[in-house]
Amino acid sequence: MKMQTNLSIAVLISGNGSNLQAILNAIQYDHLPIRINAVISNNPNAYGLERAKKAHIPTYVLSQQEFTSRDHYDAALSTCLANCSPDLIVLAGFMRILGKSIIYKFENRIINIHPSLLPKYPGLNTHLQVIENQDSEHGCSIHFVDEHLDAGPLIAQVSLKVSKADNVATLKQKVHQAEYFLYPTVLNWFANKRIDISNSHVFLDKILIPTTGLKFLMTEN
């Protein structure tokens, strides 16, 4: 059996924070061996901040309006992250593109969750694109963050079937359910030091992960 570590993370949010809540629940109820050092939001009204406060986690708001340039914002965020000294930075609905200075400073230590089966549909409105293109499959992805938008090395995905009855709202809900499973699962791998990355190749238990990430299939019951 592997030794469990207490991985420390900083979670970056912009809104509801239901993924943050899923991580908090996994820590509280499923013994996910992780400590959240900080929750950082670029939006002062993000409901996720309330979730963090309720769980007695330090919160920080870095609102872009308070900064005169993107570089100043990134410098402040970088300092905030360095002060929290997390092992891993977890983007959970953070609706701002991280500057290159941050990505390079915390290279291979930032992960993101995205509501599509990357490399399909980086960016916004993923559910709508799935409906418009009549895709039969959709899902979510967790990947390392690099300098390209939603394009860093993939760690894992959940795929789910799209039915004819689905619309943007039902897909959003299904994908969220998949995300609430996937983030705690992947964070558990990190906490147990099971994930490595080298030259953009991702390994689980020293075994190379396919470039599409490890795939879980969500079935309807």
| Residue numbers at the binding site for ligand GRF (CB under 6 A) | 13, 15-19, 48, 92-93, 113-115, 140, 179
Q: Could you tell me which residues come within 8 angstroms of residue 123 by beta carbon, excluding any fewer than 6 positions away?
A: 149, 150
CB of 13 or CB of 88, closer to ligand GRF: 13
Structure tokens at 183: 């983030």
Q: Which residue, 15 or 213, has its beta carbon nearer to ligand GRF?
A: 15
CB of 43 to ligand GRF, least distance (A): 10
Neighbouring residues of 135: CB distance < 8 A, sequence distance ≥ 6:
120, 162
Nearest of 109, 96, 13 to residue 53 by alpha carbon: 13
Nearest approach, Cβ of residue 16 and ligand GRF (Å): 4
Nearer to ligand GRF, 46 or 202 (CB): 46
Selecting among 31, 56, 72, 114, the annotated active-site residue is 114
Closest approach of ligand GRF to the CB of residue 179, in Å = 6
CA angle at 63 for the pair 60 and 64, rounded to the nearest 5° = 145
Residue nearest to ligand GRF (CB): 93
Q: What is the closest distance, in whole angstroms, from the C-beta atom of residue 42 to ligand GRF in the complex?
A: 12
Q: What's the rounded Cα separation, in Å, for the pair 185 and 196?
A: 15
Q: Are strands 137-144 and 201-204 parallel, antiparallel or unpaired?
A: unpaired
160: tokens are 């789910």
Q: Which DSSP state fits 153?
A: P
Is 114 one of the annotated active-site residues of the chain? yes
CB closer to ligand GRF out of 81 and 111: 111
Residues designated catalytic: 114
